[in-house]
Amino acid sequence: MIIMKDSCYTKCQNALEQVTARSGRPIILCCKDDNDICKNAYHTLELPQTVDCLQGILTVIPLQLLSFHLAVLRGYDVDFPRNLAKSVTVE
Domain containing 24: what range? 2-73
Please write the tens of the pLDDT for every residue from 32-83. 888 888 787 888 888 888 888 888 888 889 889 989 999 999 998 888 777 7
Q: Compute CA 16 distance to the chain's CA centroid, rounded to the nearest angstrom.
A: 13
Contact yes or no for 52/6 (Cβ under 8 A): yes
Q: What does the pLDDT read at residue 18?
A: 92
Give a yes or no: residue 21 inside a domain: yes
Give a yes or no: residue 17 inside a domain: yes
Q: What does the pLDDT read at residue 83?
A: 75
Give a yes or no: residue 84 inside a domain: no
Residue 91 CB contacts under 8 Å (≥ 6 apart), including other chains: none
d(CA 61, CA 19): 24
> For the chain, what is the domain count?
1
d(CA 5, CA 13): 10
Give a yes or no: residue 83 inside a domain: no
Give a yes or no: residue 60 inside a domain: yes
Give a yes or no: residue 10 inside a domain: yes
**3-class SS at 16?**
helix
